[in-house]
Amino acid sequence: MLEIRLEKACKWTRWPCVICGGATNKDYVIGVAYEDGKDAGKVCDDCIDLGAKGIAEALREHAENLRKWAEGLEKASHGEIRCRASLAKKKEMSKRIDDELVLENFKQACISEFDAVEVDIPDAPF
C-alpha cells in the first residue's frame, strides 16, 4: 500500500517528487510517500492535490516516462559518445562568467553613482 503523509520538512530545499518526477516546493511541511511503511520519497504539492485516484494515474504516467527515458539511455550508451566538456573547463568558464558579472555589477554601481543628480524636492505643503 502506498500512503501519503504530511511531515515537517527536515531541510529547506526542493526534493524530487516520487509520484510525478517533478519537484517539491521549499516549504515547512512536505508530503512523504510510504510504500508498505517504508519511506519511498517526497511528494510535490500538485500530486498531493491529485488525491488517491489522481496519484495512481500520475504514477502510471511517470512509470511510462521513465521506461521511455531508460530506453533512450540504453540506446545512447550503445552509440557514439563525444565528451567535449571537462570539469576543469566548466570551472574555468563559470569563473570567467562570475568575474564578468562582478565587473558588470561594479561598473553599474559606478555609473549609478556618477549619474546621480541632485533633485530639488519641493517643500511639503504644510
Contact residues toward Zn ion (CB under 5 A) are: 17, 19-20, 22, 44, 47
Shortest Cβ 47–Zn ion spacing (Å): 3
> Which residue has 526542493 as its cell numbers?
14
Q: Are 30 and 9 in contact (CB under 8 A)?
A: yes
Shortest Cβ 41–Zn ion spacing (Å): 10
Q: Closer CB to Zn ion, residue 23 or residue 109?
A: 23
Q: Closer CB to Zn ion, residue 22 or residue 54?
A: 22
Q: Closer CB to Zn ion, residue 19 or residue 30?
A: 19
Residue 82 contacts by C-beta under 8 Å, 6 or more apart in sequence? Answer: none
Helix (H, G, I), strand (E, B) or coil at 121: coil
User: DSSP letters of 10-66?
Assistant: SSSS--BBTTTSSBPPP-SEEEEEEETTEEEEEE-HHHHHHHHHHHHHHHHHHHHHH
Q: Closer CB to Zn ion, residue 64 or residue 98?
A: 64
Q: List residues bridging with 43 in a β-sheet.
A: 31
Shortest Cβ 30–Zn ion spacing (Å): 11
Shortest Cβ 16–Zn ion spacing (Å): 9
